[in-house]
Structure formats: C-alpha cells, structure tokens
Amino acid sequence: MRKAATVQELPGVSQSKTEVRSPAFAWSDLASRLRPYLYLAPALICFALFFFYPIGSIIYLSFQDWSLINLEQMEWVGLQNYQDLMVDGDFHQVLGNTVVFTIATVGIGLTLSFLLALWLNKKAKVYGIIQATVFSPHIISLVSVSMLWMWLMDPQFGLLNAGLEAVGLPAYTWLTDPKSSLLSLIIVSIWKVVGYNTLIFIAGLQSIPGDIYEAAALDQSPWWRTLRRITIPMLSPTIFFLLIINTITSFQAFDTIAIMTQGGPINSTNMLVYYIYQQGMDFYNGGIASAASVILLILVGILTAIHFLVMSKRVHYR
C-alpha cells in the first residue's frame, strides 16, 4: 500500500489509479501526500517571514507617519507621504540620477561586454585567462572596489590624474564636482559589471549551433550581416536577461554611493536605495522612506513581470 502510493508520485510514471485502495482512511497515504509540503515548509516559512510579509508591511508603512525611534507612534496619513515625495525637489533629483545612472551603466556596460564577448569567445588558453581577469571585479566586495577607485580618483594624489598630467592633460575633478561625480560612479559600475555580462554573453554565444554559421559562411554572408541576422537574434534571450538583471542591479546601487560620495556633492549622486536609507536610518522619516521603497518595489516588480512574461513566451518557440 505504502509503496504504491510513493511510486505513484514519481514523475514520468503513469498516474493510473488501478491499485486497490483499502476502504479505511489510509494514514500512510495522507502522510505521503503531505510530505512535499513538509519538505517545503522551512524554506517557505523563511520567505514568508523575510520576503512576502515585509512586502505587505512596506505598503502599510508607506501610509503611516512613523520613525524608527519610536515604533509605537504610528499615525495613518493616507497618501501624504507619496504627495510629499511628488513635490520634493531632492526626490526628483534622486529619480533623475537613478535613471541617468541606469541608462548609462546598462547601455554602455552591455555594449562593451557584447563586443568583448564576440572578441574573447575563442578556445585558446589566453582568452580564458583574459575572461577570468575581466570577471574578477565581479567577485570582489563593492567596499574594496569603491575604496580602490576613490584612491585612483583622488584629485591630488590619485593615479588617474597623475596619468592625465603625465600626458599633458588637465587634472579631472572626478568625485568632488557635481558635474562629474555621477559619471565617476558610472565608470566604476561599468568596470565592475562588464566581466559578468561578458561571460554570460560568451555562454550564450556558445549555445548557438555551429551549423547555422557554416550555412552563413557557405552563402558568403559578410560578418556584419551574420552578426545582425544570426548572432544578435539568437542571442536575444541573453541580451534581454542581462538588460533586466543589469537594470534591477543599477536601481539598487548603494555601496559605491555610501562609501565614495554619500550622495554628494549637493545630492548629485544620490539614488533611490541610498535615499531610502538616508530617510529611514539617518533622518528618521520612516513614512517617506517606505513610500520611496514602494516606488522602487513597483519599478522592480514591473521589470520582473516583463521578464517572466517574455521568458515564458520564449519556451514556446524553443
């Protein structure tokens, strides 16, 4: 009896109901039905406590006036926090910075890594070494990456300005000038992300069947046409995946800002997560921070939804 019940659960085994069931209530049957839920329970409880409940909670908190100092004092203010954000010039700038940072990082980062992948996708050992080298910043703590680039970008003693001076160019302001600070963060982020993208692109390139290229070669298709007609369309799932992942990661930018600029000078590098952190943890505006979190959550949620929709469609024509 027990065996029949468990074999039935095997995927691939036909789900015939022919085995004889005892008329009495079968405890072992119930136990094996419950088993998968028991196995899932620890993980799902964690997700409920530290993911789904907080998502509900942040929406609730965004309608309250509250602060971390005294959590007992919560006051329902409806949409007031959102209205405050709408008219807050600083928040507009934060949104603008986030958008500029994201478009620049994702756009330049993806283009560079696509070109690198086309070039480095070769069997010889040296290409493997360069691939690993390009990838290495990705596994290093952003703390170290940030401090390293702060040192390279130091206006007086940094290597970048020493290099500029050596070739007769004027020193650059990098992080200290609101005109260049965001650009400096963009450079650091691209440096950090390019290796990861490149390796994902290479994995994508290697999954394209070789005979398509052979056919193209027989037709004497020029390389740019092969690229445009074969490589890019075949890579479109990879391009799309990286587009979504990179965008979500850019929205989350925090470590570089916290260590390199603290959002300054004059708010020029402040972005969404850092703004939420400042409002919540430094200025004790829990309500404002929550409302900004909900806006971020909606942005990331939309991207995730698009991702799922397109990816589930992709299953059909694959």
Of positions 54, 96, 107, 233, contacts another protein by CB under 8 A:
54
Residue 29 contacts another protein per CB under 8 A: no
Q: DSSP for 26-37? A: -HHHHHHHHHHH
Of positions 26, 118, 200, 227, contacts another protein by CB under 8 A:
200
Closest by Cα among 246, 244, 272 to 257: 272
**Contact string (CB under 8 A) for another protein, positions 256-295, x = contact:** --xx-------------x--xx--xx----x--xx--x--
**Contact string (CB under 8 A) for another protein, positions 208-237, x = contact:** ------------------------------
Buried b (16+ CB within 10 A) or exposed e, 257-278: bbbbbebebebbbbbbbbbbbb
The one segment of 16-24, 84-92, 123-131, 211-219 that binds another protein by CB under 8 A? 123-131
The smaller minimum CB distance to another protein, of residues 8 and 215, is found at: 8
Q: Residue by residue, what is the 3-state secondary structure of 142-205?
A: HHHHHHHHHHHCCCCCCHHHHHHHHCCCCCCCHHHCCCCHHHHHHHHHHHHHHHHHHHHHHHHH
**Contact string (CB under 8 A) for another protein, positions 73-112, x = contact:** ----------------------------------------
Residue with tokens 């450079």: 187
Residue with tokens 């829990």: 286
Q: Tell me the CA end-to-end span of the chain in Å, nearest whole number.
A: 41
Closest by Cα among 258, 256, 251, 257 to 272: 251
The smaller minimum CB distance to another protein, of residues 215 and 298, is found at: 298
The distance of closest approach from Cβ of residue 248 to another protein in the complex, given in angstroms and rounded to an integer, is: 6
The smaller minimum CB distance to another protein, of residues 182 and 253, is found at: 253
The distance of closest approach from Cβ of residue 304 to another protein in the complex, given in angstroms and rounded to an integer, is: 4
Dump strand ranges (E) for the chain.
Answer: 64-65, 75-76
- The two tokens of residue 259 are 């260590």
The smaller minimum CB distance to another protein, of residues 152 and 227, is found at: 152
The distance of closest approach from Cβ of residue 200 to another protein in the complex, given in angstroms and rounded to an integer, is: 5
The smaller minimum CB distance to another protein, of residues 268 and 274, is found at: 274
User: Quick check: 137 and 191 in contact, CB under 8 A?
Assistant: yes
What DSSP element (H or E) covers 285? none
Of positions 1, 30, 52, 103, contacts another protein by CB under 8 A:
52
Residue 245 contacts another protein per CB under 8 A: yes
